[in-house]
Every structure is written in structure tokens, then in C-alpha cells.
Amino acid sequence: MITLAEVTDARERLRAILRPTPAWRSDTLSDMAGRPVLLKPEYLQRAGSFKIRGAYNRISRLPPGQAVVAASAGNHAQGVALAASRTGRTSTIFMPRNAALPKVGATEAYGAEVRLGGETVDDCIALAVAHAAGTGAVYVPPFDDPLVIAGQGTLALELLEETPSMEAVVVPVGGGGLIAGVAAALAQTRRDVRVIGVEAAGAASMTAALAAGHPVSLDSVATMADGIALRSCSELTLRHVQAYVDRVVTVDEEQITQALLLAIERAKAVVEPSAATPLAAVLAGLVPGDGPVVLVLSGGNVDPLLLTSLIEHGLAGAGRFLTVRVVGLDRPGLLASLTAELARLALNVIDVEHHRSNRTLGVREVEVIVTVETRNEKQHVEVIEALGAAGFRVEPWPGDAVR
């Protein structure tokens, strides 16, 4: 088990490499959660996530010139690549074939040789271990290593200084290295602080391990939160969670999406899906208590294309778009009168489709499918009623049912 002395030693070693990420309170999220919410912005850390902590603590202790190898979908890859370059050594990183191109490019920019192979991170770990055995490079695991865990635990020591009033800390869980380090450090300093882990429901390997009493390898993982999409934790991380973590909860994809959108829109925190899971858990009422809670926003290395899709999906789910079907007689001015009414309602039009041929239409009828921006779902009802009162035959588009 990781000791406080090991975490303290790691902090001294990391002082020269870490970027300060002081925790701060979000009044907006606090109002929404009904309790003080503080954010630990590790998405602003070197290489875009907390991973540099464990990677540098492990790699900096190797003999000079010792090559390293690792496997990752992105965050650990960048942490290892940066740590290797800062300590004057070469690194080889195995990444899944479907890894986001920006993450691949960033890893290469930090000086690593990237090799794409395998469908999942677990596949890449096997490739990295084989590479280490064949070349003499040292394999740097993403979580199953005492020095890596001790490095991640330095985050807790910062929280003790930045948020001494904290009642609970909420941490994303993948392989378990971050929560193991944070929980171990707090257990040996502030045992009264509750530590809550959050997994994606489609990759809940720690939850399965806790139920079984040993690591369990999931048949598959399915989540947008690739930073925590691991099939299995390790014996080492499981022991720490069993000993020090108060609870591990899961959130679904819709909850993650809405939390990510809120983080961006209300906290101005551009984070990756895995980093949004703590906020999702708090807003879902899965974190007990009403005192100050710290959310570890673990990383910000999100693929811009994925981010665009997530934002659009999140806005739709939050009722920020409304799509309706308007049917009327095919006469000049129909479209103009419709858009005039939408303008009177102060609605911004996002998209318009105009169709004359449809088997559900009469001979002289046309349909207009229009998408507008709205404040919330309550306004959906108001818009439908207003268009109906203006004489339009209107109905919500399938999938946009008015509630």
C-alpha cells in the first residue's frame, strides 16, 4: 500500500515539472448541486491531464538514457512522452488504431514514437509489454505501479492546502491509479474526507471488481469517455479502493454528455468526457452530503470532432433546439409568413427544409421542417402553441416530442 512518505517524496520530485492548478469554487454549479462545488482543473496541467504526475515520478527514477514504452488512448501517452523528453530519454507509445488524431499528434509532438495497433487500450498494453521484453525498454504502466500511484496522489496533497474545508472528493475511475493515490494520501492525513469514485456505466470494471472481490476483465467496454474505458483494474489499485474509497458509482452516457456541456458553458472548463463524470455524479445525487465537494476535472485532451458532436447532442438533450414540421397550402408567401412568425417570437432559425413531395401530403400541400434555438423544453410548448395560434398546422418532429 502506498505510504504518505512516498506521496510526499513524489511531490518534491514533481515540484519543478508541475503546473499549478489551484482549485476554485463554481457558484453556478454550487447553486445547481445545492452544495459548495469546487473544481480541481487538471485539464490545465502539463500535457493536458493529471497523468504527468505519475509518469514523471516513475520515469525520473530510471537510469539515465533508459528507453521507456507505454500504452494509452491519449492522456498517459502524452504524460509518458513529456516525462521521457524532459529526462532525456526515448519513448515508444502504443495507441489504439482508432485513437483521436489530435492525441496521436500531441504525443508525437512531445517526442514519442507512436505505434498504432489493437482495438482497445488493453490490447495496446499487451503490445507494449511485449515490446519491452524484446527491446529492454522499461514498460511504464498507466496505473498498476506504486510510483505511478504515488505521483497521482500528489494531487490530494494540493487539495489539503487549497480546499481544507472539503467534505468529499469525487474522482474519475478507469484503471484506478488516480483514485488509489488520492484516497491513500487522504486516508493518512484527513480520514474524514470522503472519497467517491465515478465510472462510466459502459466501462465499470472497478464496480465489477469490488463485487467479485478481485479484478474482473469486462467482455467489452462502450463509452465516449475513452480516458476511463478500461476492461480491468489491477490488484494493486483494487486493494487501495477497498481500503480507502467510500463509494464507487456509475453514470451513463447521457449524464456524461450533459455534465460536459455544463462544464463548458457554465464553468468555462473545456474537459474530456471522463473528466466530466464527477460533475455528472454530483448532479445525479450520487455523492452524499451537503458540504463542500471537490470535483477532479482530470483532463482536457478531447478530440475537437467528438467535442462538436457532444455539444450538439448535449444542447439537443437540454432542450436548446426545437425541430417542428409545418404543413400548409402550396402558395406564395407560406415560408415568408412562417419565418416572420418565428422572428416575432425572437427565435433564431438553425435549419430549414422545404418539401413538396411526400406521401403524407395532399396534392396542393407542402411541408417545412424548421429547427430553431430555444431556452429550454418549456419554451418548446410555447412555440408550438404560438405557431398554432398563428394558423399553422404544426407538430414536433419525431424525436423532438414536446413534454
What's the grid cell of residue 212? 467479485
Cβ atoms of 403 and 377 closer than 8 Å = yes
Query: Is the pLDDT at 382 greater than 60, yes or no?
Result: yes
Whether 298 sits among the annotated catalytic residues: the reply is yes
User: Which residue matches cell numbers 521507456?
Assistant: 68
Task: Name the catalytic one among 51, 232, 234, 274.
Answer: 51
Give the other-Cβ count within 10 Å of 338's Cβ.
22
Query: Is the pLDDT at 403 greater than 60, yes or no?
Result: no
Which DSSP state fits 202? G
Task: Name the catalytic one among 60, 91, 232, 298.
Answer: 298
For 12-66, what is each residue's pLDDT tens digit? 999 999 999 999 999 999 999 999 999 999 999 999 999 999 999 999 999 999 9
For 362-374, what is each residue's pLDDT tens digit? 777 888 899 999 9
Residue 101: per-residue pLDDT: 84
- Domain spans of the chain? 4-49+145-316, 52-139, 319-396
The yes-or-no answer to whether 52-139 and 319-396 have a common fold is no
Residue 364: per-residue pLDDT: 78
pTM, two decimal places: 0.84
Assigned CATH topology for domain 4-49+145-316: Rossmann fold (3.40.50)
For 198-230, what is each residue's pLDDT tens digit? 999 999 999 999 999 999 999 999 998 988 998
CATH of domain 52-139: 3.40.50.1100
Residue 180: which region, alpha, beta or left (left: phi > 0; alpha: psi -120 to 50)?
Answer: alpha
Which DSSP state fits 61? T
For 59-109, what is each residue's pLDDT tens digit? 999 999 999 999 998 899 999 999 999 999 999 999 988 888 888 999 999
Long-range contacts of 188-192 (CB under 8 A, 24+ apart): 188/3, 188/4, 189/4, 189/156, 189/157, 189/160, 190/160
Tell which residue, 78, 227, 214, has the closest CA to residue 140.
Answer: 78
Q: What is the mean pLDDT of the chain?
A: 92
Buried b (16+ CB within 10 A) or exposed e, 356-369: eeeeeeeeebbbbe
What's the grid cell of residue 230? 478500461
Architecture of the domain delimited by 319-396: 2-Layer Sandwich (3.30)
Instruction: Please give the share of the chain, as a percent, with pLDDT higher than 90.
Output: 70
Cβ atoms of 209 and 234 closer than 8 Å = no
Residue 331: per-residue pLDDT: 84
